[in-house]
Amino acid sequence: MRCVCLHRLVPLILLFTSLAHAQDLASFEKRVSKRVLPNGLTVLVCERPEAPVFAFFTHVNVGADREVPGITGLAHMFEHMAFKGTDKIGTTNYVAEKVALARVERAYAAYDRERRRDVGRDEKKVAALEKAWRAAIAAADKYVVKNEFAEIVEREGGAGLNAFTSYDATGYHYSLPSNRLELWAYLESERFLHPVTREFYKERDVVLEERRMRTDSSPVGRLMEQFLAAAYTAHAYGRPVVGWASDLQSFSATDAMDFYKRYYVPANMVVTVVGDVRPAAVFGLVEKYFGRLPARPKPEPLRTVEPPQNAERTVTLREQTQPWFIEGYHKPDARHPDEAVYDAIQDLMSNGRVSRLHRALVRDKKIAAFAGGFNDFPDPKYPNLFVFFAAPTPGHSPAEIEEAIHAEIEKLKNEDITDEELKMIRTRAKANLLRQLADNEGLAQQLGTMEALFGDWRELFKQVENLDKVTKADIRRVAAKTFVASNRTVGKIESLRAAAASQEVKQ
C-alpha cells in the first residue's frame, strides 16, 4: 500500500474530488459488463474511451497453493513457459519440433530415474544418460524462434508485457492499441490452447538462478523463507513460490504440462479487458477465440487447512548483515467479516509517517530505520498472517524492536483509537481506491482479482464501504483476539558483527 503523509492527503483528495462521482460503484456498474462462456470462462469488460488503447488481465486461479513436495515452483515455471510461444509461434517446424521435444522427455526421464536411484546408482550410466538428454535438447533447440511471442506484441504496439505467480494465482497482462483487439484475443487464447514447453530445461536453470539471487543470496530472503516455513506446518503458504532448489533441479516438462491440464481450465480463469473497447466486440472475439478452450472440470477446493497454532515459534538467523525483525499472527482469509478491521489496523499502524509504528520506532525512539505492518501475508485466498516488521538502526537490536512493537500492540488491545485516526483511515481508503482506478492496467487487475476471489468485481468498492463501518470497539476486539503470544511466529536476523562488537566492549 502506498504511503501518504497527512499534509499531502488533503490536496490529494481535493484533486480527486472532481473525479470521484465518476468513479463510484453506480458509475462502474454502467460501464462493466460480465459474461460467462459455455466452457466456463468468466469475462469482464470495462469501457474507458479516454484513449484508443486497452489493457487486459488474465487471472488463473492457481499458484503455489496447488503444489506438493516434488513439484514446488511448478506454477511459476509454467508462467515462464507461457511466453515461449505455441505450435504456430516460436517454431520453424512444429511437426518436427514436437517429435524432438518428445525425445527430450524420454531422455530426461531415463537420466532422472538413474541419477536419483538411492541404491546401485551407476555413475558412468548417469553421465551417459545426461549426455544423451543434453544432445536431445540441442536437437530440439534447432527449431526454436526465440522470443517471437514478445516480438509480435511489441511490434504491434504492445506495452507492459509481463506476468506474475503468487501463492494464490497466476496473472498475465499487457496493453495494446484498440485496433489490435482481435490480435490480442488470438494471441492470448493460443498460448493457453496450444502451449509448448520449448526450452523448458534452460528456463528451469534461469528460475534456479532467480532463486539463488532472491533467496539463497539474500539474508532477508532466507529469513522470509524460514519464517513462513515456521508459521505454516501444513498449508502450502509454508513453501516458497519459487520452489525448493531440489525440485527445481528435478521436475520435468511433462510435470508442467500435467499441471497446466489440471488447473488451466476455463472455469478456473477470469479475463478482464479495460479501455477503449465495446463489450459486444470483446465478447464476440472472446467467444470466437477463447471459446475454443475445452471445458474441463473446475479443480476441487484445497483440502489442507492449517491447524490452529498454540505455541509461539521463533526463527533466528545469525549473519554478518543488517539485523531484521518480523513477526506474524494467524488470521482468517480475505472473505472473513473482520477483513476490513484488519485493513484498518494495517492503515493505522503502517500507512506513512503519521502511522503509529513509524512515529514510535522511527521518529521518537529512533531504534528503527523503518517499521510497518500489513494484512494478508503472504496472500489473501486462505487463512493468512498479519505481520509487523522493522529494521533496527545501528546500535539497536531485534529484541528492542520486538519490545517496542508489542507496546504498540498492547495499546491497540486496551485503548480506543482517536476519532481523528478513525476518520483518516476512512479517508485514505477512499484515496487508495481512486488510485487503483487511475489506469487501465491497474483497474483490469483489480477487477479480475476481485471477481476471482469473491465471485463479484463489485467487492473492490465494497471494501471501502466495509471500512466505513469499522468501529473503535472492532479494532480492540480483533487485536485482542489475534495478537497473542501463542498465535505468534517470530523471525529475526541477529548481526554477528554487532554481537562481536558488543563482546569486545565487555572485554
CATH number at residue 264: 3.30.830.10
Does the structure show a pLDDT above 90 at 4? no
Mean per-residue pLDDT, 306-326: 96
Is residue 404 located within the same domain as residue 499? yes
Whether residue 98 is contained in a domain is answered as no
Residues 352 and 443 in one domain: yes
**d(Cα 507, Cα 502) in Å, to the nearest integer?**
9
363 lies in some domain? yes
For residues 210 and 342, state if they share a domain. no
Mean pLDDT of 104-128: 96
For the chain, state the CA radius of gyration: 25
3-state secondary structure of 331: strand
- Give yes or no: residues 243 and 370 share one domain: no
Average confidence (pLDDT) over 315-322: 94
Q: Same domain for 277 and 318?
A: no
Cβ atoms of residues 178 and 285 within 8 Å: no
pLDDT average, residue stretch 5-32: 56
Residue 257 domain-assigned (yes or no)? yes
Q: Which of 234, 257, 292 is the last residue of a domain?
A: 292
Instruction: Please check whether residues 282 and 351 belong to one and the same domain.
Output: no
Residue 258: inside a domain, yes or no? yes
Categorize the per-residue pLDDT at 498 as very low, low, confident or very high, splitting at 50, 70 and 90.
Answer: low
**Assigned domain for 66 exists:** yes
Range 409-425 average pLDDT: 96
Give residue 397's pLDDT: 95
pLDDT of residue 433: 86
- Among 292, 324, 354, the domain boundary falls at 292
As a whole number of angstroms, the distance between CA 412 and CA 415 comes to 6
Residue 471: CB atoms within 10 Å: 13
pLDDT score of 5 more than 60: no
Residue 506 pLDDT exceeds 80: no
Let me know whether 356 and 258 are in one domain: no
- Model pLDDT for residues 391-400, shown as the tens digit of each residue: 999 999 999 9
Q: Quick check: 147 and 155 in contact, CB under 8 A?
A: no
Do 410 and 320 belong together in one domain?
Answer: yes
Give long-range contacts, CB 8 A cutoff, 24+ apart: 94-97: 94/143, 94/196, 96/143, 97/140, 97/143, 97/144, 97/196, 97/198
| Residue 455 shares a structural domain with residue 402 | yes
Q: Using one digit for the tens of pLDDT, what is the confidence trace for 73-85? A: 999 999 999 999 9
Same domain as 360, residue 283: no
Q: Domain containing 169: what range?
A: 53-91+144-292
- Whether 504 shows a pLDDT value over 60: the answer reads no
Instruction: Establish if 106 belongs to a structural domain.
Output: no
State whether 271 and 411 are in the same domain: no
Boundary (domain end) residue, out of 259, 292, 325:
292
Residue 437's pLDDT is what? 86
Q: Are 407 and 346 in contact (CB under 8 A)?
A: no
pLDDT tens track for 129-163? 999 999 999 999 999 999 999 999 999 999 999 99
Q: What is the pTM of this model?
A: 0.91
Evaluate whether 56 touches 188 at the Cβ level (below 8 Å).
yes
Cβ atoms of 495 and 323 within 8 Å: the answer is yes
Segment (H or E) for 493 = strand 488-495
| pLDDT band at 352; cut points 50, 70, 90 | confident
Query: Are the CB atoms for 299 and 62 separated by under 8 Å?
Result: yes
Tell me what the pLDDT averaged over the chain comes to.
93
Strand spans (E) along 37-87:
42-47, 53-60
In a domain, 36, yes or no: no
| Domains identified in the chain, total number | 2
- Looking at the fold, whether 345 and 415 belong to one and the same domain comes out as yes
List, for residues 148-202, the tens digit of each pLDDT value. Answer: 999 999 999 999 999 999 999 999 999 999 999 999 999 999 999 999 999 999 9
Asked if residue 201 is part of any domain, the answer here is yes
